[in-house]
Structures are given as structure tokens and as C-alpha cells.
């Protein structure tokens, strides 16, 4: 079986990625080839710079979204093994070992240790490797440039609506419910404290309207509306660690140890330091009212 492939890390598997993947699938059908995504287990910057950017998707989340994209095959390389290969050497590997006959390049993509200057240089290197190199169309969004970097910036600034628009789906935090300081319970608003993978991007500190599901979800289990607080609870001290607390109104289940996926829908407000717990209780009541209204509007 021979393939047409494209290369990328695909963090977020956002609208721009999906536009490229759709072109890949369409050209595969036209050329009577199978479609393949070439990706990497760890972000290339971990090898090149010693530090990975905060990730929009965990490795497992990214693998699942790529598998759901409609391509025939997803092949994962260890970037540290191939980092010193030139573009032509890597294309030799793709042609001989992965059975790639056509390589679809994103309009702004570069690969190989020699970092060839333009598309024509990649096309010529492809000819020598036995691969036809084609250039993909750029994703044309009149309102904004979509990239994983732009999405990270939006999340760090609390612009969850902008991030979700670029992603094409709600940004999600998936993790295990762990014990916290039980501050929410003392206030009359019990919360589930979520522990997420260390490399997952945590958005701007503040309060969010969201929905959540226990994992694994079932087809008849509707998402539950919830209020998410990302922060350090400054009302109760200045040296508290960052926590992700989810309040699910009218939920009285014991969630400790269970897996939860929380999809952030709208930003409610920044985290604040209140004079006393009574003021905080009043604000949480108002937050819940706003959360319900925001979720209705979405």
C-alpha cells in the first residue's frame, strides 16, 4: 500500500490542522493512495531546546483526535532519532520504510536539519528521494491567524471564546479528582479538585462556565453544567498552590479518584481576593447565575 503523507506535531488538532488533513484525504482519493499523518511522540522543542511548550492536548488526547480525523494511518516518530537528518534523508526514510510516494507540505512548514529555504528546494529533494512534494493551500480565515501558538496565547489571556473558535471545539481539561483543602465545602459550594498532567496548558486564572463528564462517558450521559475556578484561593492565604476546582450544582456524588473531563465554554471573571468568606459566598452565587446564563447562550 502506498501513501500520500503530511508532517506535523498537530498540537490541538485545530481548524488549521483539520483543513490540511482534509486536503490530504481529498488528494489521496484523487491519486488512489492511502492517507498518512507523520507525527512525533514529544514536541520537537523538547529535543531542540530542552523544554516543551505547554500542550493543548495530552499525547493520548492528540492520538485520539488524529485517529478520528479520517486518515488511514498515523505514524509516530521519535524526533530525537531523526533530528539530524536532512530533508532529503528523512524523505528517503518516508519513501523506503513508510511507502510514501507523495508528501503534502503545509504552506509554512519546514523540516530537516538543513532547513531548506523554499518549496522548490523541498520539491527537488523529493525528486531525488522518489517522492512528489506538493504544497497545501493555506487556511484562509479573514478574522485571525490560526496556530497552536495563537491558541496558547488566547488561553493564557483568558480569551476562552477565541481559543475555542480557533480549535473548533471547547478547550478541555481532563484529569483525576483528588482531595483538596475542602474550602468549597466549608463555603457551601463543594468542589472536585482536578489533577491534570504536568505538561497540559492551564488557562488564565479565574472563573469559567463549563460542562463536565465522568470518564468513560456513555452516549446517554449528558454533560453537566459546572463552574470552574483556576487559581490559588487568595481569600484564604497567599502561599496556596494553584488548583483547578469544579463546582457541579446539585451534585452530591463522591467523585474522588474518578476521571473527569471539563470543557471550558466561557470566561466569567478574574480571580479576586475578598475581604471575608461571606463576600466570596455571595460572589459564587452570582458566578453560578452567570454560568447558567452563559451556557444557555452557547
Q: In this structure, what is the dihedral angle of CA atoms 203, 205, 207, 212, given to the nearest 10 degrees?
A: 40
Taking the C-alpha atoms of residue 153 and residue 144, their distance in angstroms, rounded to an integer, is 13
The tens-digit pLDDT sequence of the chain (298 residues) is 899 999 999 999 999 999 999 999 999 999 999 999 999 999 999 999 999 999 999 999 999 999 999 999 999 999 999 999 999 999 999 999 999 999 999 877 889 999 898 999 999 999 999 999 999 998 877 667 899 999 999 999 999 999 999 999 999 999 999 987 767 777 778 889 999 999 999 999 999 999 999 887 655 567 899 999 999 888 776 667 899 999 999 887 888 898 999 999 999 999 988 878 888 899 999 999 999 999 988 7
Quick one: residue 177, left, alpha or beta (phi over 0 = left, psi -120 to 50 = alpha)? beta
Cα–Cα separations (whole angstroms), residue 213 to 90, 234, 297: 42, 28, 20
Q: What was the pLDDT predicted at 233?
A: 82
For each of the domains in the chain, give its residue range(s) and CATH number, in order of start.
Answer: 3-135 (3.40.50.620), 171-297 (2.40.30.30)
- Predicted confidence at residue 217, as pLDDT, reads 61
Residue pair 244/233 in contact by the 8 Å Cβ criterion: no
CA separation for the pair 265, 150 (Å, rounded): 18
What pLDDT sits at residue 169? 97
What is residue 187's predicted lDDT score, i.e. its pLDDT?
A: 76
238 and 265 Cβ atoms separated by less than 8 Å: no
Q: Name the nearest CA neighbour of 39 among 16, 2, 65, 19.
A: 65
In whole angstroms, what is the distance from residue 201 CA to residue 179 CA?
21
Query: CB-side exposure of 51: number of CA atoms within 13 Å?
Result: 2
Is the Cβ–Cβ distance between 180 and 243 less than 8 Å?
yes
* CA count, 13 A, side-chain hemisphere, 237: 6
- How far is the C-alpha of 43 from the C-alpha of 39, rounded, in Å? 9
Amino acid at each position: 500500500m502506498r501513501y500520500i503523507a503530511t508532517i506535523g506535531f498537530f498540537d490541538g488538532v485545530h481548524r488549521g490542522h483539520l483543513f490540511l488533513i482534509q486536503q490530504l484525504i481529498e488528494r489521496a482519493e484523487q491519486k488512489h493512495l492511502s492517507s498518512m499523518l507523520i507525527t512525533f511522540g514529544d514536541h520537537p522543542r523538547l529535543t531542540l531546546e530542552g523544554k516543551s511548550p505547554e500542550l493543548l492536548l495530552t499525547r493520548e488526547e492528540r492520538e485520539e483526535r488524529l485517529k478520528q480525523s479520517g486518515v488511514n494511518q498515523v505514524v509516530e516518530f521519535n524526533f530525537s532519532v531523526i533530528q539530524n537528518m536532512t530533508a532529503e534523508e528523512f524523505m528517503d526514510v518516508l519513501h523506503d520504510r513508510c511507502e510514501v510516494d507523495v508528501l503534502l507540505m503545509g504552506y509554512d512548514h519546514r523540516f530537516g536539519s538543513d532547513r531548506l529555504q523554499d518549496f522548490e528546494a523541498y520539491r527537488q529533494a523529493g525528486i531525488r528521494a522518489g517522492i512528489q512534494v506538493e504544497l497545501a493551500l493555506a487556511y484562509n480565515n479573514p478574522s485571525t491567524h490560526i496556530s497552536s501558538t495563537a491558541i496558547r496565547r488566547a488561553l493564557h489571556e483568558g480569551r476562552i471564546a477565541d481559543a475555542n473558535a480557533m480549535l473548533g471545539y471547547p478547550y478541555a481539561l481532563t484529569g483525576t479528582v483528588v482531595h483538596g483543602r475542602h474550602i468549597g465545602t466549608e463555603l457551601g459550594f463543594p468542589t472536585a479538585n482536578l489533577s491534570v498532567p504536568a505538561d497540559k496548558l492551564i488557562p488564565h486564572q479565574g472563573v469559567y462556565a463549563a460542562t463536565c463528564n465522568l470518564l468513560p462517558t456513555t452516549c446517554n450521559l449528558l454533560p453537566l453544567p459546572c463552574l470552574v475556578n483556576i487559581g490559588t484561593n487568595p481569600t484564604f492565604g497567599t502561599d496556596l498552590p494553584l488548583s483547578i476546582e469544579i463546582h457541579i450544582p446539585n451534585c452530591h456524588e463522591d467523585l474522588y479518584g474518578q476521571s473527569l473531563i471539563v470543557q471550558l465554554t466561557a470566561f466569567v471573571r478574574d480571580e479576586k481576593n475578598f475581604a471575608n468568606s461571606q463576600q466570596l459566598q455571595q460572589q459564587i452565587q452570582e458566578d453560578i447565575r452567570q454560568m447558567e446564563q452563559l451556557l444557555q447562550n452557547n
